[in-house]
């Protein structure tokens, strides 16, 4: 069924239009709570309305376009996010919003009325925002956005005020209890689909993310007079630990999706002629199987305890989010839809976080991945072919029709 009902031309035009709404000196940048983001939201609002959707911004700051169903049996939610990271958001999130809109347009022009309401969502601030937190809108819709976040400030503006500025209502609840299914399309952000020449990835689970701070303390000494064998060099110990973390993560990755990255690193006093007395590491670890994460954290404690004499270690778990399985029933519908459309698929874990991880707390959720060039994402070179995105949209539409007919 490669003669698609969705319009690849409309998808391409929408992607190009949103790409044009960017900080001109930093393509492709449209960060949440910025004037450029507001401009993109205004464009989306007009496109939602043109598609015949009833448009509103909910209390959590999510832009929603709703097409009423015929039976009052709940809502099928589809969408993603239109905000970007700096310098790299031409398709990340945006493709999912655009194809959700296209599915709604396709249903409208073919005169197909679902039994369920269909809601197209642009979730607020999926990427890490200027307030240092992410998935603000989907957390609000799931009823799990921490109240303490509202007091966070950036350049004199609180998150509560920023929510009001985008049309939200921080004092009100955005939690939904009418969602019966959620579908999200996203670029893969990795090379597997392209390298394997597979049309689509069907996401089985979204990895849990744990961030751990390790602070190693040694002793500052003169770099020229302290004997090599009598030092408590915090940096040397940290270097051994970083290498060990990479080896341990590589070993764990052979039996399931697992990654660990030392993404932040600093030393003190950071002087050429002083033996480092302190080193700080921030570890980002991700696993689809919780047992893998627990095993890694136990290993990390033991590795820190086994550092050379004179080196102290403090291990602090800063955040710890559980992995989120996608709904098997919705995955099966997507597989059947892909078979109907003649699309090849493979099951995949998502190492990146997505709004679906939070919506899954209130409703069955599923994700489709489409290939991206060389697996690149969060960079200006991020690219996905319109034909791949349109095929993903067609498969999603087929699955939505099947879900609507049976429930």
Q: What DSSP character marks residue 147?
A: G
Q: Is 257 among the annotated ligand-binding positions?
A: no
254: Cβ contacts below 8 Å, ≥ 6 apart: none
Quick count: other Cβ atoms within 10 Å of Cβ 290? 12
Q: Is 321 among the annotated ligand-binding positions?
A: no
**Orientation of helix 94-109 relative to helix 35-50, angle to 10°:** 20
Angle at 395 between CA 385 and CA 98, to 5 degrees: 55
What pLDDT score was predicted for residue 407? 73
Q: Is 127 among the annotated ligand-binding positions?
A: yes
Backbone angles phi, psi at 30, to 5 degrees: -150, 75
**Which string of DSSP letters, residue by residue, matches 112-145?**
---SSEEEEEEES--S--TTS---HHHHHHHT--
CA distances from 399 to 34, 336, 339, 368, 407 (A): 35, 8, 11, 11, 12
Q: Where are the domains of the chain?
A: 8-207+323-406, 208-320
Block residue for tokens 């004499």:
309
Tell me the two tokens of residue 285: 């670890």
Q: Is 211 among the annotated ligand-binding positions?
A: yes
Spell out a b/e string for 73-86, using b for 16 or more CB atoms within 10 Å of the CB, else e.
Answer: ebbbbbbbbbbbbe
* Helical segments of 342-385, H only: 356-359
Determine contact, residues 287/349, Cβ cutoff 8 Å: no
25: Cβ contacts below 8 Å, ≥ 6 apart: none
Angle at 142 between CA 137 and CA 145, to 5 degrees: 60
Q: Average pLDDT in the 250-265 region?
A: 97
Q: The domain at 208-320 falls in which architecture? A: 2-Layer Sandwich (3.30)
- Tens-digit pLDDT profile for residues 213-226: 999 999 999 999 99
Distance CA 122, CA 64 (A): 6
- Tens-digit pLDDT profile for residues 86-139: 998 899 999 999 999 999 999 999 999 999 999 999 999 999 999 999 999 999
271: Cβ contacts below 8 Å, ≥ 6 apart: none
Q: Confidence class of residue 2 from pLDDT cuts 50, 70 and 90? A: low
Alpha-carbon Rg for the chain, nearest whole angstrom, is: 23
Block residue for tokens 């890490």:
128
35: Cβ contacts below 8 Å, ≥ 6 apart: none
Distance CA 381, CA 140 (A): 32
Given a cut of 80, whether residue 326 has pLDDT beyond it is: yes
What pLDDT score was predicted for residue 4? 87
Q: The domain at 8-207+323-406 falls in which architecture? A: 3-Layer(aba) Sandwich (3.40)
Q: Is 154 among the annotated ligand-binding positions?
A: no
13: Cβ contacts below 8 Å, ≥ 6 apart: none
190: Cβ contacts below 8 Å, ≥ 6 apart: 351, 372, 375, 377
Distance CA 82, CA 86 (A): 13
Question: What pTM was estimated for this model as a whole?
Answer: 0.93
Q: Average pLDDT in the 257-271 region?
A: 97
Q: Confidence class of residue 358 from pLDDT cuts 50, 70 and 90? A: very high
What pLDDT score was predicted for residue 319? 92
Block residue for tokens 């697996």:
375
């Amino acid at each position: 069924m490669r003669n698609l009902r969705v319009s690849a031309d409309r998808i391409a035009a929408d992607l190009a239009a949103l790409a044009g709404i960017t900080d001109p000196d930093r393509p492709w940048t449209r960060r949440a709570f910025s004037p450029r983001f507001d401009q993109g939201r205004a464009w989306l609002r007009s496109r939602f309305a043109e598609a015949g959707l009833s448009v509103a911004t909910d209390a959590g700051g999510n832009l929603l376009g709703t097409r009423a169903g015929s039976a009052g049996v709940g809502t099928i939610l589809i969408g993603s996010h239109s905000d970007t990271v700096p310098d790299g958001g031409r398709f990340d999130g945006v493709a999912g919003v655009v194809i959700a809109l296209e599915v709604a347009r396709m249903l409208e022009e073919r005169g197909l009325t679902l039994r369920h309401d269909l809601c197209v969502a642009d979730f607020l601030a999926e990427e890490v925002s200027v307030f240092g937190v992410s998935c603000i809108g989907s957390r609000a819709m799931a009823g799990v956005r921490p109240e303490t976040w509202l007091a966070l400030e950036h350049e004199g503006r609180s998150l509560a005020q920023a929510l009001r500025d985008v049309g939200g209502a921080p004092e009100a609840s955005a939690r939904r209890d009418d969602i019966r299914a959620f579908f999200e399309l996203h670029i893969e952000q990795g090379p597997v689909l392209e390298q394997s020449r597979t049309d689509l990835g069907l996401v089985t689970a979204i990895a849990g993310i744990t961030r751990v701070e390790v602070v190693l303390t040694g002793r500052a000494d003169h770099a020229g007079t302290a004997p090599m064998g009598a030092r408590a060099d915090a940096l040397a110990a940290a270097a051994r630990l970083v290498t060990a973390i990479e080896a341990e993560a590589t070993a764990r990755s052979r039996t399931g999706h697992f990654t660990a990255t030392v993404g932040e690193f600093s030393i003190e006093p950071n002087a050429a002629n002083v033996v480092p007395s302190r080193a700080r590491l921030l570890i980002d670890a991700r696993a689809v199987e919780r047992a893998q994460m627990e095993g890694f954290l136990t290993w990390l404690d033991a590795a820190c305890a086994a550092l050379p004499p004179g080196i102290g270690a403090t291990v602090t778990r800063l955040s710890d989010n559980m992995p989120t399985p996608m709904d098997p029933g919705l995955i099966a519908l997507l597989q059947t839809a892909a078979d109907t459309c003649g699309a090849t698929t493979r099951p995949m874990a998502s190492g990146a976080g997505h709004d679906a991880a939070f919506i899954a707390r209130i409703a069955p959720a599923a994700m489709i991945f489409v290939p991206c060039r060389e697996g690149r994402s969060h960079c200006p070179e991020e690219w996905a072919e319109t034909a791949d995105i349109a095929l993903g949209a067609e498969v999603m539409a087929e699955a939505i029709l099947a879900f609507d007919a049976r429930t």
